[in-house]
Amino acid sequence: MTITSAAPGPVTTDLPRSPADDVGPVGGSPRRTAADVLALVERHDVEIVRFLWVDHNGILRGKGVARDVLPGRLRSGVPLSVGRQAASLLDQAQPVPGFAVMDEVRISADPDTLALLPHAPGSAAMLGDLLTRDGAPWGACPRAFLRDAVAEADQEGYAVVAAFEPEFTLLRDGVPFDDGLTLDNEAFDVTNDYVIALIRALRSAGVAVEQYHPETSPGQHEVTVRPAPALRAADNHVWQRILTRGLARQHGLRATFAPVPLSGLRGNGNHLHVSLWRDGNAFAAPGAGLSDVAHHFIAGVLTHLPALTALLCPSVNSYARLVRGRWAGAYGCYGFDNREAAVRVPSVLGGDESGTTNVEIKPCDGTANPYLALGAVIHAGLDGVRRRLDPGPPLTVDPNTLSDAELRRRGVTVLPGSLAEAVAALERDELLMSVLGSPRRDLYTAIKRADVRDLAAMPESEVYAIHNTRF
């Protein structure tokens, strides 16, 4: 059973071509009320509504609210220990100042994000913000971080449009479910029932799918979705994770977004597409080119890229993927359709050059918290726009063919090679540490350092298994 009629935003195939059409001052205006939520819960005989959030390790967590008490919890939120936010990837609380065992926040569910869970009959879910007990945005709420970044763009006169492009691996009994070739027609057949169920579930959740295809590694697949205003784009990605994994279990499979699920497999990316809009696409220029604004934005991203890596590639497993020669974007440069560049400028679609002009941030992977990753990219790009930074010429060759000396001559860097290096780069970046703010920056760096420490003592196979399970 679906709730297409109540999905958050348009779900029909005739969506407005400009993804910025429904952007308000800080990312869109509410379309659904608490009364709408209660009516839908009653209509579809929902017993439990999950109030979900994504923690600073990129793990989706939540509490379930019984429908009999749902009216009150929609008003008050659901209590949550602040100390719970300081959990590492191994679920061990870290001693971070400000995250004591005696304090609480509230999970405040966003009615616009309500959807049924087709793999869990009788259940629905909403995504939430973390608020203080007096109802103010909590200083370490990931969703609030993205809201703040969108508000910064709005102050500059821009709406932010984005889409995450995640790859995932389907496993059965711990091995890839299929061994199809890249774009293999037979791989379509093997996964057809699962993929059709996933696309229908995404549509019912308000997530508009653009295309699907089998990817380069055994069991690897990709479902791409339409661009949307920034906050909705991050929410869409969370829903894609929920439904991809949940429906896989229903089909006797495991879906994982881990950067490298098993030793020897190609990596799963989660490429992030971004554009700014003001009276149309501010990144577009006549003749399918890039505007000055786009170049400044790219320069800002490249300037802060080493630090951004800690938010885009935030797990130990990320660096099994982020290597040169794997199309993972491990080189600090930009290029037109250059799949080794960290910032790729994709080819536009003929007939819709303005609508499809964007930049792709390639290093991002499936362990990233989408609110933190997108928010940080927005802040970095806006820094370039404000300072009118110049990214230099695009890289027009495969960087793997260049010597280290030639890379340096061209100003091409190599991204951090480990989570520890990336966190150190983040701590040196004044802008990103400032916008992350206290206590978020202290929390984030503490749990990432804990992950580096704890996983270093484990066998490699166990590290793969942990990421495979968590993500």
153 and 122 co-located in one domain:
no
Residue range(s) defining the domain that contains residue 331:
147-470
Q: Which of 134, 160, 195 is the last residue of a domain?
A: 134
> How many Å separate Cα 276 from the centre of its chain?
18
pLDDT at 68 over 90: yes
The total number of structural domains in the chain stands at 2
Angle (CA) 388-445-130 rounded to 5° is 85
pTM here is 0.91
Residue 409 domain-assigned (yes or no): yes
pLDDT at 447 over 80: yes
Structure confidence by residue, pLDDT tens digits, 10-40: 322 222 333 333 332 223 345 788 999 999 9
Confidence at residue 92, expressed as pLDDT on a 0 to 100 scale: 85
pLDDT at 380 over 50: yes
pLDDT, mean of residues 297-304: 98
Residue 140 domain-assigned (yes or no): no
126 and 157 co-located in one domain:
no
Confidence of residue 2 (pLDDT cuts 50, 70, 90): very low
Confidence of residue 288 (pLDDT cuts 50, 70, 90): low
Residue 255 and residue 170 in contact, taking contact as beta carbons nearer than 8 Å: yes
80 and 228 co-located in one domain:
no
Rounded Cα–Cα distance for residues 353 and 19 (Å)? 14
Residue 404 domain-assigned (yes or no): yes
Q: Which residues contact 426 (CB under 8 A, 6 or more apart)?
A: 307, 309, 310, 311, 432, 433, 444, 445
Q: Which of 82, 99, 134 is the last residue of a domain?
A: 134
422 and 292 co-located in one domain:
yes
114 and 205 co-located in one domain:
no
Residue 139 domain-assigned (yes or no): no
129 and 166 co-located in one domain:
no
414 and 442 co-located in one domain:
yes
- In 3D space, the residue among 470, 354, 346 whose CA is nearest the CA of residue 87 turns out to be 470
300 and 348 co-located in one domain:
yes
pLDDT at 394 over 80: yes
Amino acid symbol at 220 = Q
- For the CA atoms of 194, 199, 200, 206, the dihedral, rounded to the nearest 10 degrees, stands at 150
Residue 346 domain-assigned (yes or no): yes
121 and 266 co-located in one domain:
no
Structure confidence by residue, pLDDT tens digits, 217-267: 888 999 999 999 999 999 999 999 999 999 999 999 999 999 999 988 889
Rounded Cα–Cα distance for residues 254 and 174 (Å)? 8
pLDDT at 419 over 90: yes
Structure confidence by residue, pLDDT tens digits, 51-63: 999 999 999 999 9
126 and 71 co-located in one domain:
yes
pLDDT at 87 over 70: yes
What count of residues does the chain have? Answer: 471
201 and 169 co-located in one domain:
yes
Cβ neighbours, 10 Å, residue 216 = 15
Q: Which of 86, 112, 134 is the last residue of a domain?
A: 134
323 and 457 co-located in one domain:
yes
Rounded Cα–Cα distance for residues 215 and 90 (Å)? 30
DSSP β-ladder status, 331-336 and 341-345: parallel
CATH number (domain holding residue 258)? 3.30.590.10
CATH number (domain holding residue 12)? 3.10.20.70
Element (H, E) at 214: strand 209-214
Comparing 178-187, 218-227, 231-240, 274-283, the range with the smallest average pLDDT is: 178-187
pLDDT, mean of residues 83-90: 85
Beta-strand ranges (E) seen in 132-181 are 159-172, 175-176
Q: What percentage of the chain has pLDDT greater than the value 70?
A: 92
Structure confidence by residue, pLDDT tens digits, 307-354: 999 999 999 999 999 999 888 999 999 999 999 999 999 988 777 777
Residue 125 and residue 114 in contact, taking contact as beta carbons nearer than 8 Å: yes
Cis preceding-peptide flag for 393 (omega within 30 of 0): no
Residue 270 and residue 365 in contact, taking contact as beta carbons nearer than 8 Å: yes
Confidence at residue 406, expressed as pLDDT on a 0 to 100 scale: 93
Angle (CA) 286-287-290 rounded to 5° is 65
Enumerate the β-bridge partners of residue 228. 162
Residue 141 domain-assigned (yes or no): no
Residue 103 and residue 82 in contact, taking contact as beta carbons nearer than 8 Å: yes
Rounded Cα–Cα distance for residues 126 and 141 (Å)? 16
- Look at 288 and 179; give whichever has higher pLDDT: 179
pLDDT at 469 over 80: yes
Structure confidence by residue, pLDDT tens digits, 121-157: 999 999 999 999 988 899 999 999 999 999 999 999 9
